[in-house]
Structure formats: structure tokens, C-alpha cells
Amino acid sequence: MNLNDLPEDEYFTSGHTACPGCVAPIIVRNMMKILGKNTVVYTPANCLLVFGGTYPYIAWKVPYFHEAFENTGSSISGAARAFKKKRKDVTVVGIAGDGGTYDIGIQALSGAAERNEDVIYVCYDNEAYMNTGIQRSGSTPYGASTTTTPPGKKIPGKLEHKKDMAEIMRAHEVPYVATMSVSHIADFLRKVEKAKKIKGFRYLHVFSPCPTGWRFDPSKSIEIARKAVDSGMWTLYEAEYGEIMDIYKPKKKIPVEEYIKGQGRFRHFTPEMIEELQKWVDKKWERLYGEKP
């Protein structure tokens, strides 16, 4: 879909309470324009749950439900099966954060994917537990400062690299896995449109810069998202039944140093730490593109 053809209809409306510059509502709003009215949304505990609706003010214009934190995969399975039984054609979509996906929710997610439930699972990835105050998650990149990985005198931030969740989902060989970023909006919209048409389990993983947790100027959200892609920190691809069908390659690969610049969570980085992060990116690049950067 062309950006100009995007429907005027809003299913995630203004009045929500996300921080200025937050990418999560941009993801949700645009995605919902394509998924449309005939959609039921589940949100586990996360920023979106809170900024999308605190009773009695609800930004959602479609039916929306919440149960708990770790069960997006199973909650949407239940709703989807009920609609199947009742022969109602409804798109059931669960929108979880990285914490609700990589960590506490991975079991229910893996189960739903393995059963090939007819649902769309969306992970908006802001690389930490933001709702509870910026704690590390399995998605937090190497070295980043969070409230549970504060750069100290002995330990300089998070010691482990980011877990490759999309690859874990690709290994489930589900009908559709796509990684996305709103900085590449046409690609983003195309993937949502495609996911909507596919039956079975669909996993959409969207990069979601968070000015509050990453400590950057809120006007720079899209720029940072773009730099993540251009540096290889985030890679856009899509896979069908476990096979990569399309992968976006930045025209000019930028060094990670350029990406981390301006983000407070990396401010303490030493040249050695930058090098460590660059090595990780280069290795991932080689694995995904089959050639050295």
C-alpha cells in the first residue's frame, strides 16, 4: 500500500498518553489502519496497555482485551478459536513488548506458533521493560544502560548481546515472519497488508525507539530507527515457512558508532565497547547476507 492510499479511518486514536516521540503508537495506529474494523486486539502488560487506555479513556476503536503479561500467545489463541468455532471472520492480533515476547511470554508465543494458530502476533521492540522503569530485557543491546544494568565501577552496563527473537520465530517455520521499522514505512505497510491476507501464525517484529528509555531527543525517533537499519543493528526481512523471501540491504552501511551517538543509554561507551558492538553487528550481517560487510 502507498502511504497516500492509507485509509483515513482511525482505530487507535489520538488522546492516548504515550510519551512524545514514542514510536509504539505510530506502529499501532498505522497497522490498525490496514487491519481495519474487523479486528480484535490483545495487549499484555506494557507501555501500550497503559497509554492506550486507562479506564474510562480508551484510545481503541476496535474490541480490545487484556488478561496478563506472559500469555499473549495463548490469550489470542483462545479468542481466535472462539471466532473460528462461531464462524466469524475476525482478525485477532496480540501486540506485546519485547519483555512480553523475548522473556516472560516466549513459552506461550512458541506454543501458539507451533500450533499455527490463526493470529497475528506483533512485537514492538523498545529493547527494555519500559513500563516498569527501563529494566533490561533479553532484547536490550550489549552495553546499554538500563536501571538494572547501570554502568558501574565494575560492570559497564549490560554484558550480553541482544537475543535474536525474529530468528527464533523463523525457526518455528510459521507462515509468515517479518521484521519492520516505521522509518521504512512503505515496507512496513506492505508487510502488514501481506500478513493480513495470510492464514495461520504471523509474527511481525517492529523496531520501536523509546526516547524516554533510550534517552534521546524525541524529535529524532524516526532518524534513530533509520540509523538502526542502516547500521545493521536492525535488519528488515520477511520469511515464509522459515525461508527468507526478501531482505533489505542498506545502500550504505554506517558504523554502529553513528547509531549509538545521541542515545543516552550508550553514552558511557568506551572504544572497546563500540568495537564489541560493531563485531556483533558484522557477524549478524555476514550470517544474514551471506557476505562480509
Partner 1 sequence: MPDKGHKYGEGGESMIQKLEAKKMVITGDHAAAYAALLADVEVVAAYPITPQTLIVEDFATFVDDGITDAEFIMVESEHSAMSAVIGSEAAGARSFTATSSQGLALMHEMLPIASGLHLPIVMPVVNRTVAAPIGIWCEYNDMMPQRDTGWMQMYSEDNQEVLDMVIMGYKIAENHDVLLPIMMGLDAFILSHTVEPVEAPSSDEVADFLPPYKPIAVLDPDNPMAIGTFTPPEYIQELRYQTHRCMKNARKVIYDVTKEFASKFGRNYHGLIEEYETDDAEVILITMGTVTGTARDVVDAYRKQGKKVGLIKLRFFRPFPAEELRKALQNAEVIGVFDRAVSYGVGGPAWIDVKSALYGFDKPVLNFLAGIGGRDIVRGDVEKMFDIMLDAKNGKAKKEIVWINTRGVEE
Contacts with ligand SF4, residue ranges (CB under 6 A)? 18-19, 22, 24, 47, 51, 126, 130, 210-213
In whole angstroms, the minimum distance from the beta carbon of 43 to partner 1 comes to: 9
Query: 242: phi > 0 → left, psi -120 to 50 → alpha, else beta; which?
Result: left
In whole angstroms, the minimum distance from the beta carbon of 218 to ligand TPP comes to: 16
Rounded CA separation 278/284 (Å): 10
- Residues whose CB is less than 8 angstroms from the CB of residue 5 and which lie 6 or more positions away in sequence, other chains included: none
Question: Which of ligand SF4, ligand TPP, partner 1, none lies near 90, with the C-beta cut-off 5 to 8 A by kind?
Answer: partner 1
The DSSP secondary-structure symbol of 132 reads T
The DSSP secondary-structure symbol of 19 reads P
* Residue showing the smallest CB distance to ligand TPP in the complex: 97
From 13, 110, 148, 278, residue interacting with partner 1 (rule: CB under 8 A): 110
Chain-centre distance for alpha carbon 120: 13
State which residue, 218 or 242, has the beta carbon closest to ligand SF4: 218
In whole angstroms, the minimum distance from the beta carbon of 126 to Mg ion comes to: 4
Rounded CA separation 256/65 (Å): 39
- Residues whose CB is less than 8 angstroms from the CB of residue 89 and which lie 6 or more positions away in sequence, other chains included: 38, 83
Query: Residues interacting with ligand TPP, by CB under 6 A?
Result: 45-47, 69-70, 96-100, 126, 128-132, 137
In whole angstroms, the minimum distance from the beta carbon of 258 to ligand TPP comes to: 25
Query: What is the residue type of 96?
Result: A
Question: Which of Mg ion, ligand SF4, ligand TPP, none lies near 45, with the C-beta cut-off 5 to 8 A by kind?
Answer: ligand TPP
State which residue, 65 or 241, has the beta carbon closest to partner 1: 65
Sole window of 34-42, 205-213, 219-227, 256-264 interacting with partner 1 (rule: CB under 8 A): 34-42
Q: Please calculate the CA angle 186-249-229 and round it to the nearest 5 degrees.
A: 70
Binding mask 121-150 for Mg ion (x = CB under 5 A): -----x---x--------------------
Rounded CA separation 208/284 (Å): 20
Query: What is the residue type of 171?
Result: A
The kind and range of the H/E element at 170 are helix 165-170
Q: Which of residues 86-125 bind Mg ion (CB under 5 A)?
A: 97-98
Report how far apart, in Å, the C-alpha atoms of 46 and of each of 1, 90, 122, 126, 188 are.
29, 24, 13, 11, 22
Sole window of 63-71, 138-146, 187-195, 276-284 interacting with partner 1 (rule: CB under 8 A): 63-71
State which residue, 63 or 218, has the beta carbon closest to ligand SF4: 218
Binding site for partner 1 (CB under 8 A): 37-40, 42, 49-50, 53-56, 58, 60-68, 70-71, 73-87, 90, 107-108, 110-111, 114-115
